[in-house]
Amino acid sequence: MVISLKNGFTEAGNATLFVARFFRELVKPPYELKEFIRQCYIMGYKSLPLVAITGFIMGLVLTIQSRPTLAEFGAESWLPGMVALSLIREIAPVITALICAGKISSGIGAELGSMKVTEQIDAMEVSGINPYKYLVVTRVLATTLMVPLLVVFADGIGILGGFAGINIHGDVTMYRYFSQVLSSLEFLDIIPATIKTFFFGFFIGLIGCYKGFTAASGTESVGKAANSAVVTASLAIFIIDMMAVQLTDLFF
């Protein structure tokens, strides 16, 4: 009991130090721009199909599922607005972040974990390259910036999915649908939801890197690192989401 508590606190302390080091290395030159762009490509562009399919399905399903309840009130005309609101405020950010946690965080955890296990990180340090800067900063920065973009795509494609879902039963023109969507949106729906996706991205990258960077020696720890990266990142996403929503609710 005491030992597990002690281990927990040690873990928290290590993580805090890891975060502090990230910010220190972030502002210090030299900048690994090329590696950063490569990571952006891998994390952003390569995740797009997955996010697009998820977003489309979420929009479609949400529309079909909400229709009966709204139809009961004769409020089917609110369907586009409702779907767009729930997508933009909550569903697209969280679903996209979870997808990214599964794809990116586990990828980073496995990659860095195997580098750590095969002592490549130590080799980099020996050869004069700052492994933290090259491996961690670029990846965390890339996820921080790419996840919001992926969420924007998920929003757009999800709303298109909603359009498809509405046209299963009704007949709404594209123009009318989008004007209904836009009229129901406010900045208060878009801005806080966008801000929280930066945090999602930051923690997805950070947790993946931390789990990989602190992997113990031995091949099985690579799998452990990947697994615990996904679990921790997913949990973190929900916790951040709760905090973000409560803060938004408090101030606006």
- Binding residues for other proteins (CB under 8 A): 37-38, 40-41, 44-45, 48, 149-150, 152-153, 155-156, 182-183, 185-187, 190, 194
Q: Output the smallest distance, CB 217 to other proteins, in A.
A: 33
Comparison of 50 and 231: residue with beta carbon closer to other proteins: 50
Residue 67 structure tokens? 């229709």
Alpha carbon distance 211, 224 (integer Å)? 9
DSSP state of 30: P
Q: Output the smallest distance, CB 79 to other proteins, in A.
A: 16
Comparison of 150 and 207: residue with beta carbon closer to other proteins: 150
Comparison of 120 and 184: residue with beta carbon closer to other proteins: 184
Contact 161, 57 (CB under 8 A): yes
Comparison of 15 and 190: residue with beta carbon closer to other proteins: 190
Q: Output the smallest distance, CB 31 to other proteins, in A.
A: 16
Q: Output the smallest distance, CB 163 to other proteins, in A.
A: 15
Comparison of 15 and 50: residue with beta carbon closer to other proteins: 50
Alpha carbon distance 82, 64 (integer Å)? 12
Angle at 95 between CA 150 and CA 187, to 5 degrees: 65
Number of neighbours of residue 216 by Cβ within 10 angstroms: 12
For helices 138-169 and 92-100, the axis angle rounded to 10 degrees is 130
- Start-to-end Cα distance in the chain: 43
Q: Output the smallest distance, CB 48 to other proteins, in A.
A: 6
| Length in residues, the chain | 252
Number of neighbours of residue 136 by Cβ within 10 angstroms: 25
Residue 107 CB burial class (10 angstroms; 0-12, 13-18, ≥19): buried
The one-letter amino acid at 82? M
Residue 62 structure tokens? 């949400």
Comparison of 9 and 41: residue with beta carbon closer to other proteins: 41
Q: Output the smallest distance, CB 10 to other proteins, in A.
A: 39
Q: Output the smallest distance, CB 34 to other proteins, in A.
A: 8
Comparison of 83 and 150: residue with beta carbon closer to other proteins: 150
